[in-house]
Chain A
Amino acid sequence: MAQEFPLPDVGEGLTEAEIVSWKVKPGDTVSVNQVLVEIETAKSLVELPSPFAGTVTELLFDEGATVEVGAPIIRVDSAGGTIELQAPRDADTVGELADPAATAASESSGSVLVGYGSKGGHGATRRRRRPGAIAATAEGTTADGAKASARRPTTTGSPMPIIAKPPIRKLAKDLDVDLATVTGTGLGGEITRDDVVRAAEQASVFRNIETPAWPEEREERIPVKGVRKAIATAMVASAFTAPHVSVFTDVNATRTMEFVRRLKDSPQFAGIRVSPLLVMAKAVIWAVQRNPTVNSTWTDKEIVVHHYVNLGIAAATPRGLIVPNVKDAQKLSLRELAMALEQLTATAREGKSTPANMANGTITITNLGSFGMDTGTPILNPGEVGIVALGAIKQKPWVVDGEVRPAWVTTVSAAFDHRVVDGDVASRFTADLAAVLEEPALLLD
């Protein structure tokens, strides 16, 4: 049977050797331990004794060739039965007394190479793993995570464990999201980045609202009176008196988000509610300064341009929509404005806004974003000529330096009384708002 002799690693980590001289040729009969070839390694000149007995059929490399460890160098056709004894050689090569007194017929030769050169561990391809392999070696190495987290007592007393990686925890903190209220959609209930972002975009008003069952009665009649009647009257007066025109623009509000975050971290604003609405409020004041006619009132005889801003904020209350305003908002510092807005919305939610709060507004902002809406077509507050809608600020694709990247994007829309405000003013005003949202530093003007 044909056997091959792979070049062994004769010196603990050698990778190759040179064939110096063959001591046999095809056709020769060889016995076990008979010297076949002399090779030169990095360390020394070595004679290789034959692992087989039989007839040489082929020398696989020429003298002078460099061979890698493991490559077959010679083919021998093995005979069976007893082998001829080879007479002992003179020991003139020290240490290489390959006394070739042959042994009885040996079967298979060194198919197993000990000393595999230094290539171990450097295979060219990767062994294929079974499906689900990652779980097999991951299990048991992590103590917490999905399995162990059930044991974890939380300080809030909530039974739901919070599984979130550190970057996600930071994102939640930045976006003012309470992780305890977020349901994780990742592996084992892990809260993912998307989960946090989605939660940040949703208004608190719309969480946890259950769908009620269909009522038994066919219809319900609600009397029109009080606030509802007032709102209706105002809307009709406004909508069907003032010709409304709306303009929309999308803006990359990333810097506003960053600015808001920095304000939150700032000791100056500790304890004060800060949000993009504050930036928009400031933007409106600034844009009014640059486009005064949007901050006016139409009477049949004259247009009264106000040189002060009573900034109205549309507030959804349990009793309906009201628009209290911050008087002389243009006089307030950023911090004062923040506090005023906070006060205003708190009062409104408690249902304690007074008629005086709601009178004499000069321009209004409606925060559709708090309802999760991208944009809308608001109706002017009667007596006003402009109303700004701030939409939800969401992660959307935006082109930055020629590449599509995620950015915090929002739609700014504004509606105007076309009797006072034409398209150019409308656009400039809206563009100014967008400019501030894109670069809040403009407010330093």
Chain B
Amino acid sequence: MSYTEATLQLLSPEGTLVESDATAPYLERIAALSDDQLRDFHRQMVVIRRFDIEAGNLQRQGQLALWIPSLGQEAAQVGSGYAARAQDHVFPAYREHVVGRIRGLDPMRIIELLRGLSHGGWDPAQTGNFHLYTLVIGSQSLHATGYAMGLTLDGGTNTGDLEKDAAVLAYFGDGATSQGDVSEAFVFSASYQAPIVYVLQNNHWAISVPVERQSRTPLYLRSQGFGIPSTQIDGNDVLAAYAVTAQYLDEARSGQGPRFVEALTYRMGAHTTSDDPTKYREHEDVQFWAQRDPITRFETFLRARGEGEAFFAEVATEAEDLAADLRARIFELGDPPSSKMFDHVYRDPHPLMDEQRAWLAAYESSFEEGTD
């Protein structure tokens, strides 16, 4: 579909490594990974998929206003998510639940967001620098770029120490590449040579609009026009996602400027639970990508390496447990007090907040009990 000659693939859909001159340097990075690290790739993909399904069910049961499935995009996210180092900052769009989990975010924070209890509210400093979701498409690309510029200005990057130098990982989708903010982000990061890697998950759909409507050229070429080197990868190949992103992040944190990765993948589910993909796409397209499932090929790969049934059973159990935990915990989520809306609008004291908070409190206590 959107594979081109440039598409880098380390792991074929059949689960075998692809050896070539182009893949060789990346396969070295993969070879340096431990068995546990590879197991973690699989674990995260499976667990988040199960979580995703359960959250979707909960939405259909009236427990969430909305669920945003990441079904089918697990490899692109897990691979790139693991590529970031502890000191890096990650700016997601709003579908990167597993990246959050990898960085240390409790997925319940995302559930709270979609249940209407908050607009995010987690502290990136407590969640491995995984920043809040941004629902205005593409806006986060500028915040990420500004952060990266800050790293350059205050010496947080490019000191020669890969363990300390930070870089920024920014996510957005194919639809976002049409937004002006994304182009402006490219302008700024190129101009200031900011240490940032943009990871575009081209899942081929912006709700119902196919990527062909967003661009007449492969999207990985776009950043090159701004002077930002890029690579297109098979986004359902967790090894490619990991290796290329890790390589680029290390280049960025070494003062070599911004980079761009286009991960070709597919949004197997709906845009959100409010969407009905049967209205705009063909079953055959979905089937094509189902045959390129990220988890299936990786499981094949692991089994070929000698991973036993016990591991896969353990992962399945862990996935079920997480789903059950989600179901149990969601009913424990209370409602926020109405006064919450006045907290944190400003950092410094503000007379209107005090006034209106007091007014609402007086208003609510002016009603007789038990009549709502």
Which residues in A have some Cβ–Cβ distance to B below 8 Å?
A: 5-6, 8-12, 32-33, 43-51, 91-95, 97-99, 101, 103-104, 106-110, 112-115, 127-130, 133, 136-137, 139-141
A128 touches B57 (CB 8 A): no
Nearest Cβ in chain B — how far from A163, in angstroms? 23
State the CA gap A20–B163 with chains docked (Å): 58
A127 touches B371 (CB 8 A): yes
A sample of 25 inter-chain contacts (CB < 8 A) reads: A6-B62, A8-B61, A12-B274, A33-B57, A43-B275, A44-B279, A48-B61, A94-B270, A94-B286, A95-B270, A97-B71, A98-B53, A98-B60, A103-B324, A106-B328, A110-B62, A114-B62, A115-B66, A127-B368, A133-B367, A136-B366, A137-B362, A137-B366, A139-B362, A140-B355
Q: Does B227 contact A (CB under 8 A)?
A: no
State the CA gap A45–B53 with chains docked (Å): 18
State the CA gap A130–B278 with chains docked (Å): 53
State the CA gap A47–B323 with chains docked (Å): 19
State the CA gap A43–B273 with chains docked (Å): 11
Q: Which of B317-372 contact A (CB under 8 A)?
A: 320, 323-324, 327-328, 331, 355, 358-359, 362-363, 365-368, 371-372
Residues from chain A with a CB closer than 8 A to the CB of B62 are 6, 8-9, 51, 110, 112-115
Which A residue sits closest to B66, measured CB to CB?
Answer: A12
B365 touches A136 (CB 8 A): yes
Nearest Cβ in chain B — how far from A75, in angstroms? 15
Q: Which of B57, B69, B327 has the most CB of A within 10 A?
A: B57
Which A residue sits closest to B368, measured CB to CB?
Answer: A128
Residues from chain B with a CB closer than 8 A to the CB of A9 are 62, 65
A130 touches B368 (CB 8 A): yes
State the CA gap A127–B279 with chains docked (Å): 43
Which residues in B have some Cβ–Cβ distance to A below 8 Å?
A: 50, 53-54, 56-57, 59-66, 69, 71, 115-116, 268-270, 273-279, 281, 283, 286, 290, 320, 323-324, 327-328, 331, 355, 358-359, 362-363, 365-368, 371-372
Since A44-B278, A103-B320 are in contact, a sample of 9 more A-B pairs with Cβ atoms closer than 8 Å, ordered by chain A residue number, is A8-B62, A10-B273, A44-B279, A95-B270, A97-B53, A98-B56, A98-B60, A103-B324, A110-B63
10 residue pairs, one from A and one from B, having the closest CB atoms: A44-B276, A8-B62, A95-B270, A133-B366, A103-B324, A51-B61, A110-B62, A11-B274, A95-B269, A49-B57
B276 touches A115 (CB 8 A): no
Which A residue sits closest to B366, measured CB to CB?
Answer: A133
B367 touches A130 (CB 8 A): yes
Nearest Cβ in chain A — how far from B317, in angstroms? 11
State the CA gap A50–B62 with chains docked (Å): 11
Residues from chain A with a CB closer than 8 A to the CB of B270 are 94-95
A103 touches B116 (CB 8 A): no
Which B residue sits closest to A109, measured CB to CB?
Answer: B61
State the CA gap A51–B58 with chains docked (Å): 8
Nearest Cβ in chain A — how far from B343, in angstroms? 20
Residues from chain A with a CB closer than 8 A to the CB of B290 are 91
Residues from chain A with a CB closer than 8 A to the CB of B115 are 114
State the CA gap A103–B71 with chains docked (Å): 20
Return the contact of A95 from the options B277, B328, B362 (Cβ within 8 A): B277
State the CA gap A422–B50 with chains docked (Å): 112
- With A10-B60, A127-B367 already in contact, the answer to whether A94 and B283 are too (CB < 8 A) is yes
Residues from chain B with a CB closer than 8 A to the CB of A104 are 324
Residues from chain A with a CB closer than 8 A to the CB of B372 are 127
Nearest Cβ in chain A — how far from B272, in angstroms? 8
State the CA gap A10–B358 with chains docked (Å): 35
Which B residue sits closest to A51, measured CB to CB?
Answer: B61
Residues from chain A with a CB closer than 8 A to the CB of B71 are 95, 97
Q: Which of B63, B270, B283 has the most CB of A within 10 A?
A: B63
B60 touches A49 (CB 8 A): yes
- With A94-B270, A97-B269, A114-B62 already in contact, the answer to whether A137 and B359 are too (CB < 8 A) is yes
Nearest Cβ in chain A — how far from B187, in angstroms? 35
State the CA gap A136–B331 with chains docked (Å): 35
Return the contact of B64 from the options A11, A91, A114 (Cβ within 8 A): A114
B60 touches A48 (CB 8 A): yes
Which A residue sits closest to B63, measured CB to CB?
Answer: A110
B367 touches A112 (CB 8 A): no
Residues from chain A with a CB closer than 8 A to the CB of B269 are 94-95, 97
B274 touches A10 (CB 8 A): yes
A45 touches B276 (CB 8 A): yes
Residues from chain B with a CB closer than 8 A to the CB of A11 are 273-274
Which A residue sits closest to B69, measured CB to CB?
Answer: A95
Residues from chain A with a CB closer than 8 A to the CB of B368 are 127-130
Residues from chain B with a CB closer than 8 A to the CB of A110 are 61-63
State the CA gap A97–B56 with chains docked (Å): 8
State the CA gap A114–B269 with chains docked (Å): 21
B358 touches A140 (CB 8 A): yes
State the CA gap A206–B54 with chains docked (Å): 86
Residues from chain A with a CB closer than 8 A to the CB of B358 are 140
Residues from chain B with a CB closer than 8 A to the CB of A32 are 327
Nearest Cβ in chain B — how far from A143, in angstroms? 12
A45 touches B116 (CB 8 A): no
State the CA gap A130–B57 with chains docked (Å): 42
Q: Which of A9, A44, A94, A109 has the most CB of B within 10 A?
A: A94
A45 touches B366 (CB 8 A): no
Residues from chain B with a CB closer than 8 A to the CB of A98 are 53, 56-57, 60
B61 touches A136 (CB 8 A): no
A103 touches B366 (CB 8 A): no
- With A91-B290, A95-B270 already in contact, the answer to whether A47 and B60 are too (CB < 8 A) is yes
Nearest Cβ in chain A — how far from B345, in angstroms? 20
- With A94-B270, A94-B283 already in contact, the answer to whether A45 and B61 are too (CB < 8 A) is no
- With A8-B61, A44-B275 already in contact, the answer to whether A128 and B367 are too (CB < 8 A) is yes
Return the contact of A94 from the options B56, B59, B60, B268 (Cβ within 8 A): B268
State the CA gap A100–B178 with chains docked (Å): 38
A95 touches B327 (CB 8 A): no
Return the contact of A5 from the options B61, B273, B279 (Cβ within 8 A): B61
Q: Which of B59, B60, B62, B275 has the most CB of A within 10 A?
A: B62
State the CA gap A9–B63 with chains docked (Å): 10
